[in-house]
Chain A
Amino acid sequence: MKLIDPHVHMSARTTDDYEAMRDAGVVAVIEPAFWVGQPRTTVGSFQDYYSSLVGWERFRASQFGIRHYCTIGLNSKEANNAALAEQVIDLLPLYAGKDGVVAIGEIGFDDMTAVEEKYFRIQLELAKEVGLPVMIHTPHRNKKSGTSRSMDICIEHGLPPGMVVVDHNNEETVRECLDRGFWAAFTIYPKTKMGNERMVEVVRRYGKERIIVDSSADWGVSDPLAVPKTARLMLERGIAADAVEATCYGNAILAYGQSGQFNESDWLTPAPIDQRQLFDGNSVLRGQQPKVDAVAAGGLIS
């Protein structure tokens, strides 16, 4: 089964993770711009991060046969540093239009402060201007109200709910999200967010329409195989194969495909893996033999 992890912070993960994900059927990932575990102090750190999302990380993923896309945005946590946020907002137009940027995100609320709201709104306008979907990060604390408020603000700015993916849902937020026409994404993340047994029950109850499963794996104790493990559990527990396919693959294409840049053909007819290709003079190989997929007819290598 082909799978997509439409929310995973690969910059924080190892090459072993890429290999394991590829082996488990993950063909494409979306890496949302987020914070990096500690607050950045200068705008240059953001710029280098954005450049790595459209550059080095994409290349690194390609070395393992995974198509890497990203979203660009100023996260809500760091939006609270208003002086820095102002400079970061000015950077976004440099990256929002680039190839492979499939949404503005992840944006929304963390502490639900006025500054967070200000930069959330500015970025919703940017999304409208460039015609990209939005990926919403809903807060850990005060989640239910934060999720509602995020959707209210999107509507206020005239964004069609179908262009907005609301992420980190749980049993308490999913109903409103779906009823209002938004995409409801669920993060399978140990301890803090959803477990995959709960996810099975959500799909059993709400069906496959507009529900998306992701891992949000990052630098914390998280699981880059959360999507494959959830897909397998759903099948084992009697969820129909087409619902598994929709929630762990197809819905992400429908949602982020609205960017015009997230097309199944990208990975169905991919360029062969060639680890000999260098990015900026650097390779991920450190003395290992390059793994080169044979392309010649009949698999002949000459």
Chain B
Amino acid sequence: MKECSTSGNAVLGSGGKASTMHGMSGETLVRLLDTWLSQRLKGEAWQWLQDACARVAQLEPAASERALFLAFAAAGRRVGRQDLSPVADELAQAGELITHWQPRAWSLDQLARVRLVLSLRDADPTSWLNTLDKLFAASGLEELVALYQGLPLLPHGDRLKERAAEGIRANMRSVFAAVALDNPYPERWLEQGPWNQMVLKCLFVDCPLGRIIGLERRANAALTRMLCDYAHERWAAKRVVNPQLWRPVGVCIDAGALKDFERLLEQGGPADRQAAALALGGSGAPAAQALLARHPGEAAAAASGQLLWDALV
């Protein structure tokens, strides 16, 4: 059986790319956000945001921090909470600047809040992080969602891992989802432990696994065990197993998982069999291919390209 690929972990701990992500491209990012915001905000709101960002950027450190706190708290009603609704070109720009970033579900106040944080000088990472921690500590639900969702846009990504893990531990579902879903930060920066916790917690709180960026790229052997064990717990309790669970397992099949796929094919309902077909069909492991070949209906469905993970519920 093919060893599980560890390519998804290759970026872990590599601080090297962070400096290229910000620095020059930090300015590019700010320009991009300003373009989007200026096209959407009414004159007064846009003026307010520009003034606030200028104060945060230009004042001496204590006054800059104070300006950030005041503006960040007021951003919701100053800027308004309309959807960003990015067009295709804008989504392409987003993904080009920050790999896999797709701000489809962002609102204007969230964007403005992150834009305010990006105005803060970050040359000294320790004091920058200190200010950011204060902001997190005083944040309510809506503000936390903006901050966690904005993690991939912030500089010093390597210093934010603990913060991201904290968000994953949140018991406010929308805060958890802000880290876990549609967010490229975890794939790039999280260690395997918190990453695996995040995937498993998605199942516990009913967040769609398909919206985890890098779900398959960050598949790993430990996660396969956690997910299969969880499936067994559910089966033992006669509870339904979410077929999305098998998606990362398929990338990283071990002997136990193979038995589970066999069970899905032989005893499962339609969604279980389709999940097994997709997982096995996408696996290069000979044992996986052999198992699938013993179930010609599923093998054909997998080969047809008609089955889609996102359609499975």
A residues neighboring B (CB under 8 Å):
47, 50-51, 54-55, 90-91, 93-99, 129-130, 260-261, 280-281
Asked if B255 is an interface residue, CB under 8 A from chain A, the answer is no
In angstroms, Cα B66 to Cα A47, docked, is 16
Given A54-B140, A55-B140, A99-B77, A93-B70 contact (CB < 8 Å): yes
Residues of chain B lying within 8 A (CB to CB) of residue A93: 66, 69-70, 73
Residues of chain A lying within 8 A (CB to CB) of residue B172: 280-281
Residues of chain B lying within 8 A (CB to CB) of residue A98: 73-74, 140
Interface size class of B (residues with CB under 8 A): 10 to 19
Given A47-B137, A47-B138, A54-B140, A96-B73 contact (CB < 8 Å): yes
Q: A99-B73, A129-B70 are in contact. List 16 more A-B contacts (CB 8 A).
A: A47-B137, A50-B138, A51-B138, A54-B140, A55-B140, A93-B66, A94-B69, A95-B138, A96-B70, A97-B69, A99-B76, A99-B77, A130-B70, A130-B74, A261-B77, A280-B171
In the complex, the answer to whether A97 meets B71 with C-beta atoms within 8 Å is yes
Asked if B135 is an interface residue, CB under 8 A from chain A, the answer is yes
Report whether over half of chain B's contact residues are helix, strand or loop; otherwise say mixed. helix
In the complex, the answer to whether B137 meets A281 with C-beta atoms within 8 Å is no
Asked if B261 is an interface residue, CB under 8 A from chain A, the answer is no
Residues of chain B lying within 8 A (CB to CB) of residue A91: 138
Write 8 A-B pairs (CB below 8 A) sorted by A numbering: A51-B140, A54-B140, A96-B73, A97-B69, A97-B70, A97-B72, A98-B73, A99-B77
Asked if B134 is an interface residue, CB under 8 A from chain A, the answer is yes
Q: Please give the distance in Å from A88's CB to the nearest CB on chain B.
A: 13
Listed from nearest, the 5 A-B pairs whose CB atoms lie closest are A97-B73, A281-B171, A97-B74, A94-B138, A93-B69
In angstroms, Cα B138 to Cα A96, docked, is 11
Partner of A94, one of B73, B76, B77, B171: B73
In angstroms, Cα B66 to Cα A51, docked, is 17
Binary interface profile of B, 58-80, with partner A (CB < 8 Å = 1, else 0)?
A: 00000000100111111011000
In angstroms, Cα B72 to Cα A268, docked, is 29
Residues of chain B lying within 8 A (CB to CB) of residue A51: 138, 140
Residues of chain A lying within 8 A (CB to CB) of residue B140: 51, 54-55, 98
Q: Please give the distance in Å from A133's CB to the nearest CB on chain B.
A: 16
Residues of chain A lying within 8 A (CB to CB) of residue B137: 47
Binary interface profile of B, 120-143, with partner A (CB < 8 Å = 1, else 0)?
A: 000000000000001101101000
Residues of chain A lying within 8 A (CB to CB) of residue B71: 97
In angstroms, Cα B172 to Cα A251, docked, is 37
In angstroms, Cα B77 to Cα A246, docked, is 28
In angstroms, Cα B66 to Cα A34, docked, is 22
Q: Please give the distance in Å from A54's CB to the nearest CB on chain B.
A: 6
Residues of chain A lying within 8 A (CB to CB) of residue B72: 97
In angstroms, Cα B70 to Cα A94, docked, is 6
In angstroms, Cα B134 to Cα A50, docked, is 14
Closest to A44 in B: B137
Q: Please give the distance in Å from A60's CB to the nearest CB on chain B.
A: 14
Q: Please give the distance in Å from A48's CB to the nearest CB on chain B.
A: 10
Contacts of B94-152 to chain A: CB distance below 8 A: 134-135, 137-138, 140
In angstroms, Cα B135 to Cα A126, docked, is 19
Residues of chain B lying within 8 A (CB to CB) of residue A90: 66
